[in-house]
Amino acid sequence: MLRADVIARCGKISGDTRPEARQVLHNNMRVLGLISDAIQLAEDSTRILEKAYGPSVKGGPPRIGAS
């Protein structure tokens, strides 16, 4: 949802050649990359936990850490 919002904003300013619009577009592209990196890290953590402790149980105790 967040990525779709950023992409929509990029589309609205993609034809604007003013320096401010170019910088905002550049920043938005960096944000998209950072969001993708964060998602990959979260998915990696999930894989690690599932491999070590099995799937998460909704309403059950945490697989690691204190409850």
For the record, the structure tokens of 59 come out as 């309403």
Q: What is the mean pLDDT of residues 5-34?
A: 96
Tell me, yes or no, whether 62 lies in a domain: no
Q: What is the mean pLDDT of the chain?
A: 95
Tell me, yes or no, whether 46 lies in a domain: yes
User: How many residues would you count in the chain?
Assistant: 67
What percentage of the chain exceeds 90 in pLDDT? 93
> Residues 44, 31, 46, CA angle at the centre, nearest 5°?
15
Tell me, yes or no, whether 20 lies in a domain: yes
Tell me, yes or no, whether 65 lies in a domain: no
Tell me, yes or no, whether 64 lies in a domain: no
Q: Which domain holds residue 45?
A: 2-53
Tell me, yes or no, whether 66 lies in a domain: no
66 confidence band (pLDDT: 50, 70, 90): confident
- Rounded to the nearest 10 degrees, what angle do helices 2-13 and 19-53 cross at? 160
Q: Is the pLDDT of residue 67 over 90?
A: no
Tell me, yes or no, whether 17 lies in a domain: yes
C-alpha span between 58 and 67 (Å, rounded): 13
Q: What is the number of domains present in the chain?
A: 1
